[in-house]
Amino acid sequence: MIIVPEREIADLMTREAAFDAVEKVFAAMAAGDAYNFPVVREAIGHEDALYGFKGGFDQAGLTLGLKAGGYWPNNLEKRDIINHQSTVFLFDPDTGKAKAMVGGNLLTALRTAAASSVSIKHLARKDAKVIGMVGAGHQATFQLRAALEQRDFEKVIGWNYHPEMLPNIEKVAKEAGVAFEAVELEGMTEADVIISITSSFDATLMADHVGAGCHVACMGTDTKGKQEVEAALLQKATVFTDEVAQSISIGEAQHAVGEGLITEGDVNQIGAVINGTHPGRTSDDEITLFDGTGVGLQDLAVAASVVDLAVEQGRAIEVDF
């Protein structure tokens, strides 16, 4: 079995490679060549942690496995380690033998950012100039770096429940040579693209905070009960997602569907846009929304890519198992 520890990931996986892996797996999902297994995600009753498993099988790429991990909200304050912790396990689909164990923390950040970045590529207006960030935590910096590569953005506007965290994303904007401005949520109407990346259980971004023609990427809702945006926003928008079943059960669409504002049939796979079987955005005034719930196949795709690179570069640790 091959082991690729967390310390090696930064030198092996680039944003470009993560984007390519995620885009391909979304396309495979929409074509019926890859599927995710039901998600297990539970509060364990210790350290306020959420723990679970996401897995799947990509028949086209012959990638089988799962990601185990979750969210420990006290880690940063108590232990000075990030709150999200995970490990990816890959298995040989021909024999079932364990094939690889890969550190999943940075990979999760990169694949989550890649997912919203894929949605911007395929759904945002080509002339998008202002990007809004709702959230300014650890993951928000990955989101913004990836997003800024998809359009010629001229300005970043940001809001966070704790304003003292806004310098996190201001630094990313300045590194990219893009102006930054802190705004109230009402000011998000200026944005052509909005990324919401919070862990909220109450809607923060409201329908009237979003202007005509905006593309919204909701990247924080991955558990039953979580909610980043007002359900009425999904009613106003053309809704896309990584996986429909997750979107309506643990993603942002769970609330709009539950309130009867939209139906399951109103939620489209982003992979269908990539494959050309869905037109995606059809007008400059249309609001598009991507509900990024985070699927196991994303993790497997980037982990498999890392394993290949680790072997090529002699960074892999091989053990008998």
Tell me the catalytic residues.
67
Quote the Cα angle for 231-236-241, to 5°: 70
Helix/strand/coil for 287: coil
Which amino acid is it at 27? Answer: A
Helix/strand/coil for 52: strand
Q: Do 124 and 215 form a contact (C-beta atoms < 8 A)?
A: yes
On the CB side of 110, CA atoms within 13 Å amount to: 26
* Token pair recorded at residue 215: 């593309």
114 to 212, 267, 302: CA distances (angstroms): 24, 20, 10
The number of helix segments (H) and strand segments (E) in the chain equals: 11, 16
Helix/strand/coil for 295: coil
| Largest distance between two CA atoms of the chain | 57
Q: Which residues does 24 contact at the CB level (< 8 Å), separation at least 6?
A: 61, 301
Rg of the chain over Cα atoms, rounded to whole angstroms, equals: 19
DSSP notation for 167-195: HHHHHHHHHTT-EEEE--GGGGGG-SEEE
DSSP notation for 78-139: HHSS-SEEEEEEEE-TTT--EEEEEE-HHHHHHHHHHHHHHHHHHHS-TT--EEEEE--SHH
Which DSSP state fits 205?
A: B
Give the residues across from 229 on adjacent strands.
205
